[in-house]
């Protein structure tokens, strides 16, 4: 059985979780405390400390760089999902880089504003320390003050995604590809706290997300 080691709210973990759900494969979720990566460090033989990773029997799979998508490609190969067609490899790479930088960089800030509601109390100090060291002291308080502007910014950044869905059910055609799951994960992080909804102006994107949420691999 595949084991997914994750933070529940991480956009990159949501991607892999949704892929496994879609595939119909049996899998187990293992939640890791944000401040304790020792299990990841041990499983990867001191080569990696981020999440997600997956363990499939004796095989441990993790990313090699920020754009590698090693885990998704492993799941794709094992489960026969067909989400990385060679003819669209360049287009998909451009898109997932956009999703994971331009959209995720706003969405995670909006979610982190409500960290007290999903980060256990005994893990909040390490969570805040990590954020302050990476984004500057008091960053979450700043994002809270800028919440309205961040929401407006996110809506504008999502406009091209909504336009991509004109005349088709998925971002690049009639079938879901990796970029559909990737955007689903990034938006899942933004929506994780339960305090937000999809921008009402992006009706096609709203319908697409509902479609992605229910999607099951044909034959499963």
Report pLDDT digits (tens) over 59-104. Answer: 999 999 888 999 999 999 999 999 999 999 999 999 999 999 999 9
| The overall pTM is greater than 0.75 | yes
Nearest CA to 171 out of 104, 102, 92 is that of 92
Q: In this structure, what DSSP letter does residue 100 have? A: I
pLDDT at 67: 86
pLDDT at 136: 97
194 Cβ contact list (under 8 Å, min separation 6): 117
Beta carbons of 22 and 48 less than 8 angstroms apart:
no
pLDDT at 219: 74
pLDDT at 95: 98
Q: State which H helix or E strand residue 73 sits in.
A: helix 70-79
pLDDT at 34: 84
Beta carbons of 217 and 79 less than 8 angstroms apart:
yes
pLDDT tier, 161 (very low <50, low <70, confident <90, very high otherwise) = very high
- Distance (Å, rounded) from C-alpha 164 to C-alpha 169? 10
Which domains are assigned to the chain? 2-79 (3.40.30.10), 86-214 (1.20.1050.10)
Report pLDDT digits (tens) over 8-52. Answer: 999 999 999 999 999 999 999 999 998 889 999 999 999 999 999
Query: Does 220 score more than 80 pLDDT?
Result: no
Nearest CA to 216 out of 13, 3, 88, 25 is that of 25
Region 138-150 average pLDDT:
98
Average pLDDT, the chain: 96
């Amino acid at each position: 059985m595949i084991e997914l080691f994750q933070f529940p709210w991480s956009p990159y973990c949501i991607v892999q979780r949704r892929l496994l759900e879609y595939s119909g494969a049996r899998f187990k979720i293992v939640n890791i405390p944000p401040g304790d990566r020792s299990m990841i460090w041990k499983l990867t033989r001191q080569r990696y400390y981020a999440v997600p990773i997956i363990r499939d029997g004796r095989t441990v799979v993790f990313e090699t760089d920020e754009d590698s998508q090693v885990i998704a490609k492993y799941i794709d190969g094992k489960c026969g999902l067909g989400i990385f067609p060679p003819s669209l490899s360049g287009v998909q790479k451009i898109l997932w880089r956009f999703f994971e930088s331009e959209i995720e960089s706003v969405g995670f800030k909006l979610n982190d504003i409500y960290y007290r509601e999903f980060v256990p109390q005994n893990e909040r100090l390490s969570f805040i320390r990590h954020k302050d060291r990476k984004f500057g002291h008091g960053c979450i308080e700043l994002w809270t003050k800028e919440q309205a502007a961040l929401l407006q910014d996110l809506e504008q950044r999502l406009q091209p995604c909504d336009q991509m869905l004109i005349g088709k059910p998925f971002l690049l055609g009639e079938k879901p590809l990796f970029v559909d799951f990737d955007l689903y994960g990034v938006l899942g992080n933004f929506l994780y706290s339960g305090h937000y909804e999809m921008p009402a102006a992006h009706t096609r994107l709203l319908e697409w997300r509902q479609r992605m949420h229910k999607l099951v691999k044909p034959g499963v």
